[in-house]
């Protein structure tokens, strides 16, 4: 999985006033951490009940989509050599269907079948990235990659692979779904003021306990704890994809954990990170990855053409430059 952590200012900027008016729930999940903050309203809320229910829903997402669990739905599908239709949970089918949609939009820059290449380069489960694979191994794995090799039948909640060697990895979109899953649960309880975050992917609704919009920030590359950009969000999600936390170096060359499924190689362009703001964290997560693979020019054009609110941090000489779409500029101006 790719772990990029935008610094979250919702508590840092508003955490000193009246803590009794804010319920905070946090813990480990999906190989990272999560936090949920709920501004207390007149309704009675039991923090322990909420804690157990949120954990249960995140555990369910892991049981469905984690390649780090041998008993998950996706791991069983990946191990299977069958090319017949396989019944899966409606959530799994929906997430895979949306992933396929983003793959089509991005002409394959986003591709959930990239798993064999991720594992080959040492960025998958139980692997350590420390070597450059030989060209013949890259070519062999690349032959197994292609989003068209997986089909989804939403009406039947079923999926199938076109060949036995197809391997799916939803880690570039599952955290976003997890955020949406928790938010949907809070909505079902009538909770209208919350902040949900998993490993840097987040969603907000309403105002915080001080009556202000939830404030979030995007981290400055290579300077942990410092911000590149801060903004206030209300009823929106944000996801970030970047290459400055997970990479390895060999012979003076930097190899990013973000792979281009179309080439089988790590990305080499100057885009350090991209953040996408969207109503759905699931879409924001997948779209951020797609844009990150495409790079600062093609990715920016893609985001503008689709009316996406996207913010880029681009390497420029010894420093970084900002680049934002017109939709993101509107958010900054609020």
CATH number of the domain encompassing residue 102: 1.10.3980.10
Strands (E), 156-236: 158-161, 194-198, 201-205, 214-219, 227-233
Higher pLDDT residue, 319 or 244? 319
Residue 245 pLDDT: 62
Give a yes or no: residue 97 inside a domain.
Answer: yes
Our count of domains for the chain comes to: 1
> What percent of the chain is predicted at pLDDT more than 90?
70
Give a yes or no: residue 55 inside a domain.
Answer: no
Q: How far apart are CA 98 and CA 286, in angstroms?
A: 9
157 and 123 in contact (C-beta within 8 Å)?
no
Residue 71 pLDDT: 95
Q: Please check the confidence at residue 204 and state whether its pLDDT lies above 90.
A: yes
Q: Please check the confidence at residue 18 and state whether its pLDDT lies above 70.
A: no
Q: 3-state DSSP helix/strand/coil percent for the chain, to nearest 5?
A: 35, 25, 40
Residue 119 pLDDT: 85
Residue 155, domain extent: 82-161
Q: Please check the confidence at residue 169 and state whether its pLDDT lies above 60.
A: yes
pLDDT in tens, 49-88: 999 999 999 999 999 999 889 999 999 999 999 999 999 9
> Dihedral sign, CA of 140, 142, 143, 144?
positive
Least confident span in 20-29, 108-117, 151-160, 215-224 = 215-224
The conformation of residue 13, written as its DSSP 8-state character, comes to T
Q: Taking the model in full, what pTM does it have?
A: 0.90
Q: Please check the confidence at residue 12 and state whether its pLDDT lies above 70.
A: no
pLDDT in tens, 93-152: 999 999 999 999 999 999 999 989 988 888 876 666 678 889 999 999 999 999 999 999
Contacting residues for 19 by C-beta, under 8 A, at least 6 apart: none
Q: Please check the confidence at residue 15 and state whether its pLDDT lies above 60.
A: no
> What percent of the chain is predicted at pLDDT more than 70?
87
Give a yes or no: residue 90 inside a domain.
Answer: yes
For the segment 293-320, the average pLDDT, to the nearest whole number, is 95
Give a yes or no: residue 157 inside a domain.
Answer: yes
Give a yes or no: residue 190 inside a domain.
Answer: no
Give a yes or no: residue 115 inside a domain.
Answer: yes
Quick count: other Cβ atoms within 10 Å of Cβ 249?
10
Q: Tell me the pLDDT of the chain averaged across its residues.
A: 88
Give a yes or no: residue 227 inside a domain.
Answer: no
The tokens of 301 are what?
């054009």
Least confident span in 16-25, 165-174, 184-193, 284-293 = 16-25
pLDDT in tens, 221-266: 866 668 889 999 989 999 999 876 666 666 667 767 788 999 998 8
Q: Which of 243, 101, 272, 67 is nearest to 171 (CA)?
A: 67
Give a yes or no: residue 206 inside a domain.
Answer: no
Residue 20 pLDDT: 56
Residue 139 pLDDT: 94
């Amino acid at each position: 999985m790719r772990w990029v952590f935008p610094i979250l200012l919702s508590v840092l900027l508003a955490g000193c006033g009246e803590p009794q008016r804010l319920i905070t729930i946090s813990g480990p999940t999906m190989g990272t951490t999560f936090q949920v903050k709920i501004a207390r309203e007149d309704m009675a809320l039991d923090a322990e009940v909420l804690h157990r229910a949120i954990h249960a829903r995140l555990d369910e997402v892991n049981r469905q989509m984690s390649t780090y669990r041998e008993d998950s739905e996706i791991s069983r599908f990946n191990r299977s050599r069958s090319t017949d239709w396989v019944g899966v949970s409606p959530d799994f089918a929906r997430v895979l269907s949306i992933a396929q949609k983003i793959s089509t939009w991005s002409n394959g820059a986003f591709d959930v079948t990239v798993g064999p290449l991720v594992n080959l380069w040492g960025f998958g489960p139980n692997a350590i990235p420390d070597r450059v694979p030989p060209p013949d191994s890259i070519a062999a794995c690349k032959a197994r990659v292609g989003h068209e090799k997986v089909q989804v039948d939403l009406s039947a909640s079923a999926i199938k692979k076109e060949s036995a060697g197809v391997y799916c990895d939803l880690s570039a979109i599952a955290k976003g779904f997890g955020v949406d899953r928790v938010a949907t649960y809070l909505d079902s309880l009538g909770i209208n003021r919350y902040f949900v975050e998993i490993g840097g992917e987040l969603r907000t609704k309403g105002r915080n306990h001080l009556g202000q919009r939830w404030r979030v920030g995007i981290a400055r590359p290579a300077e942990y704890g410092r911000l590149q950009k801060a903004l206030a969000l209300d009823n929106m999600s944000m996801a970030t994809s970047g290459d400055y936390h997970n990479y390895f170096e060999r012979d003076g060359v930097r190899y990013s954990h973000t792979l281009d499924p179309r080439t089988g190689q790590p990305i080499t362009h100057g885009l350090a990170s991209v953040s996408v703001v969207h109503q759905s964290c699931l879409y924001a997560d997948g779209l951020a990855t797609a844009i990150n693979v495409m790079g600062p020019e093609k990715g920016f054009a893609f985001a503008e053409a689709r009316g996406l609110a996207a913010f880029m941090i681009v390497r420029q000489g010894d420093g970084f430059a900002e680049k934002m779409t017109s939709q993101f500029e509107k958010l900054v101006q609020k």
